[in-house]
A and B are shown apart, each in its own frame.
Chain A
Amino acid sequence: MIGLRDLWGGYLRIGVSGPQPERLVNLIWIKRLNLWDLQAEEDGLSFCISVSDLKVVRRLQRQSGCQISILEKHGARFPRQKLVRKRTPIIAALIFLISVYVVTGFVWTVELDGGGGLPRNVLLDAISEMGIFPGAWKGSVDLQRVERGLLIRFSQLAWAGIRVEGTRVIVQLVERVQIPDEMVPTGDLVADADGIIDKIMVFRGQAMVEPGDTVTSGQVLVARAEHEGAQAVVQARVWYEAYAEASRVREDRLLTGRVEDAWMMVLGDRVVHLGGPESPPYTTWEEDRTSWVLGRGRKSPLPVEFIKLRYYEIYTRREVLGVDRAREEALRQAREQVLSRVMPEARVIDLVSQVVHETENVVGVRVLVEVAREIGQHRPAEQSEGG
């Protein structure tokens, strides 16, 4: 019977041939060796034994005068042996993998991204001093320390980020944006429109209004400090108004489906009519012109041009809109007008519409939109002093 020992150590099916194969079986039995799955074969017997018993069985075989052959090999021993036999390629593969790991453990290149205002070699030298240079062991590089070091050493930098991609180290740098002096506000903050103050948040200067105050365009909201311009966020409710009219009679130009083609050839200044109507065949029409110039694409195309004019007959359909539809149309137009004037960052609080004009032919609508938006506008210092 197969035991775990045999499965691990391996077992063999042995074929026995000769005058009396049972003799070998009995010799094995006398030696107290394990034997199992014995069966008759065409030329003798076959049975299974442990690999460890093979030597003894071979000795007994000589004694018995039989011939034995190994028919099958089973158990974990044989794949193990194969592996051992293939040791060289496995070791080579391992050495290769280890080499790849070791080689890719080093920094091969250091790339700079950004930091254009600073000399490249100065930056690379600084990075190298901090431990990142071609040939450095990646494991020993402290990215965060280098990032901090760069920001400390170069005050022009606003941000530094370092990442490792394989054997590449990519250093990303963002330079501090220097605001030009002329961009720095120096005067007061004034209202750019009429409105009611909602919120006011002063960073520099002195607030001249408070939430709930009604202000008019140009009114000082925050006065500048002694040497510095006013800086604040002032949000107010502002109203926009628009008026639009919509005609109640709508005319649509539609195709009747009738089409005529006319052909012409242009030779220099002369136009030669080749076929089709010489003038538009319909009272109302639209035309589509297609032309071909001979030799187009050449350096000097021939002065011959063929023209195809296609006339489409048109008819006008008049439609009298209901009051509601005309009002909707006018409202849509008025709303578009007013919203096109409102800044995108403004928040629409309320929208009121009113029909102010209505006749048989025309409907007029007025729209009033209330928005909340930033109304502070910097005024140069000279004007502030003057005002």
Chain B
Amino acid sequence: MHIPDGFLDFKTLLVTNVISYTFLFYAIRKVNKQLNFYRIPLIGVVSTVIFVVSLISVPVIGGTTTHLTGSVLTAVLLGPYTGSVVMFCVLLLQAILFQHGGLLSLGTNFLNIGITGCVLGYLVYKIYPRHIFVVICCIIAYITGAIFCVAELYFSNRLVHGTIFSLGMMSITNFVTGLIEGVVSFSVLEGVKKIRPDLLNKEMLV
């Protein structure tokens, strides 16, 4: 869930932004050093597809909507560091074009969605690198993101009452979204494997 500007206090924003941007600059250095030039068209296409897919809203409880993020799919196709940079760009565009998340809370949302999806999701995927396992990676990434989100709201004194209830509710919502995203990511990866298996070359991942 994207946190808009104004929901978190200054100290929480500062801490999460410092963590996220430090990781982002490390990821950019890795990408600049190790990226294979043949991957450039794939990066462009994957980032655009992820951005366009995120425009499609999926209704959830309480009249609210959610959308797929594609972070684990990006990490499996491009690698965790390139995936993180792509997710940062997608989140930046979502923030400035649709106000899905704010500019000041961009680092926070990058931590909740981008880093958990691309790094944590990819690390879990590395344990058992089969496409079907992507479903579990997505669920884990989404629930971790929800825990981070509730923790950030709690440390900003926004969830003084009913924190455990909020955590439970966000986890349920994110479990459903993670499951949907996992199934879609699995089908896409299987489709890519059948038609263009060269895109899944693990040696080129950064």
- Do A and B come together as binding partners? no
> Which residues of B approach A to under 8 Å, CB–CB?
none
